[in-house]
Structure 1
Amino acid sequence: MRTPEARSDEAVGLARAIDLDVVGAEIVSLSAIRPATYLGKGKVEAIAEAVKADEIDLVVMDCALSPVQQRNLEKAFGCKVIDRTGLILEIFGRRARTAEGALQVELAHLAYQKSRLVRSWTHLERQRGGFGFLGGPGETQIETDRRLISERMVRIERELDQVKRTRALHRASRADVPYPVVALVGYTNAGKSTLFNRLTRAEVMAADMLFATLDPTMRLIKLPHGGAAILSDTVGFISDLPTMLISAFRATLEEVRAADVIVHVRDISHIDSEAQAHDVETILEELGIADRADRLIEVWNKLDKLDAGARAAIDHDEEAAPAALAVSAKTGEGIDRLMAAIEDRLARGRTLVELTLDPSDGRGLHWLYEHAEVMSRADSDDGLRLTVRVPPDQVERVKRRFGEGP
């Protein structure tokens, strides 16, 4: 679904995300993939000459290379070669900020390393980010020991299982409050963190780069009618996301699976917006998220980047497809409609209850504002008349606590 030019631009963006100086990028047409070198002999020789002439230290192949292909290309080019998976893993290694994120990336890295003959296993000696694809301080040339890798993977999986259980306990405690969960998902650099900051007034790192956010962040948001929800910002998806990364980040992405509402954020200004949306939907399916149509809100972000013609087309498309909401997380346009849509989606299956409170029952009124959505409020001769919207499992509790209005 993508143009070769867009794929090339994305690969360059990935390289620059870890501060690589990109000397050049080339799109290569292949009649067939060569088992030994992926590229044809003539192209390998041409790239080798360019590497030597420009004193290039690294060649990134935007594809999946076998261990043999990677090794043969390194011999031919006389420099380090990494593939798309290796580059994404390197980015993730540098972005991880929490202990959990570091464990998840290390597990994915080890699964990748285990399948190939790599000269060094450096992450135990490294003092800072990254996982040794590009070299760095403290690097040693030690032949990978498969048994040690396997033992380390078992230990990490055990620790991540504990993380998964801890998250499940946190979700259970939130269910007792209860606060519904709204998860932001989308292609990397679609503007999820900017939208998260706009909705929560937080200051999560938001930058115009691929994978600016890796570690999940959660904040409480207030809904238009006084209710509350937990908003979760997640790692961005990308085309051809390595299976090992999906597996490693499954503990984090459990938050998406358990979410009451999933907000799919799309960069509508991107030339490959449709293809990016398809990739996100594919990964959601791989995560086993069923019946997501009932929980999904599609958001077309970055309206501020569109010219007048494209904006008019978006307005027309939005009328034709009312399920999508056009917003600008940067300027705030459309955010009120999005908040209303989130509240409306959360309200499905909830029950409206009419209540009459004694005006002196301040504690009860506070409880309702914290645990339910107060839709209307009016003084009457009988007391304070309220219409509240509550989850099905809270209806009887509310009626017992406050009684039901006439």
Structure 2
Amino acid sequence: MSKYSRKLKKLYDTAPVEETAVLVGLIHQNQSEQQAQEYLDELAFLTETLGARAVYRFTQRMERPDVRTFVGSGKLEEIQAYVKHFEVDMVIFDDDLSASQMRNLENELKVKVYDRSLLILDIFLKRAQTAQAKTQVELARYQYLLPRLTRMWTHLERQRGGTATRGGAGEKEIETDKRDIRNQITLLKDKLKKIEKQGETQRKGRKGIVRVALVGYTNVGKSTLMRLMTKADVLAEDKLFATVDATVRKVVLENIPFLLSDTVGFIRKLPTHLIESFKSTLDEIREADILVHVVDISHPNFEDHINVVNQTLTEIGVSNKPTILVFNKIDLVPKMPSEEELLHMTEHEIEEANFLDFDKLEESYTKKMGIPPVFMAAEDGTNIEKLRYSLVDEVKKHHIKIYPNYLEDETIDLSQFRDME
């Protein structure tokens, strides 16, 4: 589509025009080009979740970001030329920008500039459903925006109903904006305290029942698994952060009741303000007796995702809880063939197939976690019985602590389910 045609479309087409974005990432020391592209794949998925389309990527190998414009002057000129020629709507950086970098980049590029944190915050704001989640995200967003207000700042305009760049706003108006944001932060904190008190009352009412929380990287299938376990109408879609609000449902297995909660997915470089603000969702994890760590085993970086989740759990002080590791989406992973089958394959075919040895994974993670992992596919229910029996085994340990005489003679032999397919 020519620039002229696109302008006409913007002027006369009543359907919303999909915004376009350019992605920018730095390749740091000891990082490969492939790894940088994988990170940008995730950034592109985030961009799509926001409702925009990534049309091009720029990368630059640098030891550290440029203090003024994040990328070098030559790379900035390349980005500027591309944005101007193709009339791109926004430029998205895969790292956080300082206030001065954001200001300088907006002045140079003359379009909306997002960094990773702001992108995630806007996605959360878009997907939050409950009053509590909306309040938490708004608070995190205002705390992020306060030090970054500039004359060309466009993001606040969305909340005021406008989309155009603010022109001619002076220092006085910026100070007024800052004062308004500080007031909003105070109001949102007060509102959140009231909501959290209600949440604490609800959680107190759940004492006397075992609590299980689903945790994991975003888009690994937690909500699909939640729906499978509870038969409830829980939102599950192939987008990052489909779940922002914590969802709690009662489940009964082998006559033992427990509460199962689906929590917000973690992600690489999750904004600090968001972690601090999402107290209630994190409380579901903190107050859980058992964690079910769901992993998308079909993702090439699933082990990195495990590390990101474990690091976040450590940061919020829950890394010592009993955890069942669930390797989900096994239907999307080619299984290790038999020795006979391997003899008829070339080295290239074996390398291209990227087989995973489930037996070795099970052995390795059983040693690390103390509980055998579960391999399953939540989408079609494959091996769901394995998870149910693992859950019953762990839930029973906690249930008996609460009710010592309940089902004390009943035990479940998990060995009979080890080889289930």
Deviation sequence 1:243-299 (CA, Å, 0-9, x none): 00000101221011000111111111111111111111111112122522xx21111
Match of 1:337 in 2: 386
Is residue 256 of structure 2 the alignment partner of residue 222 of structure 1?
no
Is residue 33 of structure 2 the alignment partner of residue 4 of structure 1?
no
Q: Once superposed, which parts of structure 1, at least 4 consecutive aligned residues long, lie more than 6 Å away? A: none
Identity of aligned residues (%): 35
Where does the alignment leave 5 or more consecutive residues of structure 1 unmatched? 127-131, 354-367, 376-386, 390-406
CA separation in 2, counterparts of 1:116 and 1:321? 43
CA separation in 2, counterparts of 1:114 and 1:311? 48
Q: 2:234 aligns with which of 186, 196, 204?
A: 204
In structure 2, relative to structure 1, the CA distance for the partners of 1:123 and 1:44 (3 Å cut) is closer
Match of 1:324 in 2: 373
1:321 deviates by: 3.3
CA separation in 2, counterparts of 1:331 and 1:173? 34
Match of 1:84 in 2: 116
CA separation in 1, counterparts of 2:121 and 2:195? 21
Is residue 333 of structure 2 the alignment partner of residue 306 of structure 1?
yes
In structure 2, relative to structure 1, the CA distance for the partners of 1:320 and 1:75 (3 Å cut) is closer
Match of 2:200 in 1: 168
- Whether contact under 8 Å (1:220, 1:230) holds in the other structure is yes
List aligned pairs for 1:221-300, cutoff 5 A: 221-223=251-253, 225-292=254-321, 295-300=322-327
Deviation sequence 1:3-43 (CA, Å, 0-9, x none): 21210100000000012022112332124321110100000
CA separation in 2, counterparts of 1:114 and 1:277? 33
- Whether contact under 8 Å (2:139, 2:277) holds in the other structure is yes
Amino acid at match of 2:283: E
CA separation in 2, counterparts of 1:321 and 1:277? 11
Q: Describe the SS at the equivalent of 1:22.
A: strand
Deviation sequence 1:33-70 (CA, Å, 0-9, x none): 21110100000001111111111110001111111111
In structure 2, relative to structure 1, the CA distance for the partners of 1:79 and 1:98 (3 Å cut) is same
- After the TM superposition, which of the residue ranges 112-121 and 94-103 deviates more from structure 2? 112-121
- Whether contact under 8 Å (2:46, 2:240) holds in the other structure is yes
CA separation in 2, counterparts of 1:288 and 1:156? 26
CA separation in 1, counterparts of 2:400 and 2:107? 68
Amino acid at match of 1:94: K
CA separation in 2, counterparts of 1:232 and 1:311? 33
Match of 1:364 in 2: none
- Whether contact under 8 Å (1:226, 1:374) holds in the other structure is no
Q: 2:219 aligns with which of 179, 189, 194?
A: 189
Q: 1:59 aligns with which of 77, 86, 91?
A: 91
Match of 1:378 in 2: none
Match of 1:347 in 2: 396
Q: Describe the SS at the equivalent of 2:58.
A: coil
- Whether contact under 8 Å (1:265, 1:300) holds in the other structure is yes
TM-score, scaled to structure 1: 0.80
CA-atom RMSD in angstroms = 2.8
In structure 2, relative to structure 1, the CA distance for the partners of 1:220 and 1:350 (3 Å cut) is closer
Deviation sequence 1:322-377 (CA, Å, 0-9, x none): 33211111121121111111121122255499xxxxxxxxxxxxxx9xx99657xx
Match of 1:401 in 2: none
Q: Describe the SS at the equivalent of 2:50.
A: coil
In structure 2, relative to structure 1, the CA distance for the partners of 1:19 and 1:260 (3 Å cut) is same
Q: If you compute each CA radius of gyration, which structure gives the higher value, 1 or 2?
A: 1
- Whether contact under 8 Å (2:210, 2:399) holds in the other structure is no
CA separation in 1, counterparts of 2:396 and 2:282? 24
Amino acid at match of 1:215: D
CA separation in 2, counterparts of 1:311 and 1:334? 20
CA separation in 1, counterparts of 2:198 and 2:64? 48
Where does the alignment leave 5 or more consecutive residues of structure 2 unmatched? 1-30, 337-353, 367-371, 412-421
- Whether contact under 8 Å (1:226, 1:373) holds in the other structure is no
Amino acid at match of 1:193: S
1:101 deviates by: 0.9
- After the TM superposition, which of the residue ranges 319-328 and 153-162 deviates more from structure 2? 319-328
1:105 deviates by: 0.6
Match of 2:19 in 1: none
1:162 deviates by: 2.1
In structure 2, relative to structure 1, the CA distance for the partners of 1:5 and 1:231 (3 Å cut) is same
Match of 2:101 in 1: 69
CA separation in 1, counterparts of 2:360 and 2:121? 40
Q: Describe the SS at the equivalent of 1:348.
A: helix
Match of 2:15 in 1: none
The count of corresponding residues between Structure 1 and Structure 2 is 350
1:163 deviates by: 2.3
